[in-house]
């Protein structure tokens, strides 16, 4: 039982953490309140059979009541506006975190490219470098490629900021 030895604030923290998790969880519990707060799909083992019910335990209980105590299957109800709102919020939070990661990665890439551009400009500012034409050509080519990548990264960063 995941909630047996937790105080109220511990239970709430666990529920919040599990509710924000984007992956799949398999919870086994006799704590109906906990399942109601966390589950979006319920598997019920009863009388030697398995009932797969979209929604939480309360939704399953509603179906049992509606069907006179015998539920062989759970037909999903149209998601309530509150459920739809919660699902939209979760999706928006996932998108926001993804964009924040993308922006962070782009900023790191831009910093690295700016540093390399500065190094190459410093190398090419030295008149002695032009004594070795093949090496100079490589540095110039690398500088052009770095500038092209830097421009593309700036554009991606600008789009990600919007």
Average pLDDT, integer, range 83-100: 82
| pLDDT interval class at 86 (50, 70, 90) | confident
> Phi/psi at 50 (nearest 5 deg)?
-115, 130
Average pLDDT, integer, range 89-105: 87
H helix runs in the chain, sequence order: 8-20, 32-38, 57-66, 81-125, 133-161
HSE of 117, CA atoms in CB hemisphere, 13 A: 14
Q: Tell me what percent of the residues of the chain surpass a pLDDT of 70.
A: 88
* pLDDT score for 124: 95
Q: Is residue 134 pLDDT above 90, yes or no?
A: yes
* pLDDT score for 38: 83
> Is the sign of the CA dihedral 82, 88, 90, 96 positive or negative?
negative
The whole-angstrom separation of Cα 2 and Cα 13 is 12
Q: Is residue 80 pLDDT above 60, yes or no?
A: no
Predicted confidence (pLDDT) per residue in 18-75, tens digit: 877 778 888 888 888 888 888 888 888 777 777 778 888 888 888 777 777 766 666 5
């Amino acid at each position: 039982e995941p909630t047996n030895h937790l105080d109220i604030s511990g239970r709430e923290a666990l529920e919040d953490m599990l509710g924000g998790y984007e992956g799949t969880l398999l919870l086994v519990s006799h704590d109906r309140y906990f399942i109601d707060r966390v589950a979006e799909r319920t598997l019920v083992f009863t009388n030697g059979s398995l009932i797969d019910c979209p929604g939480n335990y309360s939704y399953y209980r509603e179906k049992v009541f509606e069907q006179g105590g015998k539920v062989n299957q759970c037909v999903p109800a149209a998601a309530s506006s509150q459920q739809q709102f919660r699902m939209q919020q979760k999706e928006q939070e996932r998108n926001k975190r993804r964009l924040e990661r993308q922006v962070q990665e782009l900023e790191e890439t831009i910093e690295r490219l700016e540093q390399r551009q500065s190094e190459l400009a410093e190398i090419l500012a030295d008149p002695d470098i032009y004594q070795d034409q093949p090496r100079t050509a490589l540095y110039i080519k690398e500088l052009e490629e770095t500038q092209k990548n830097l421009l593309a990264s700036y554009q991606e960063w600008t789009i990600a900021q919007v």
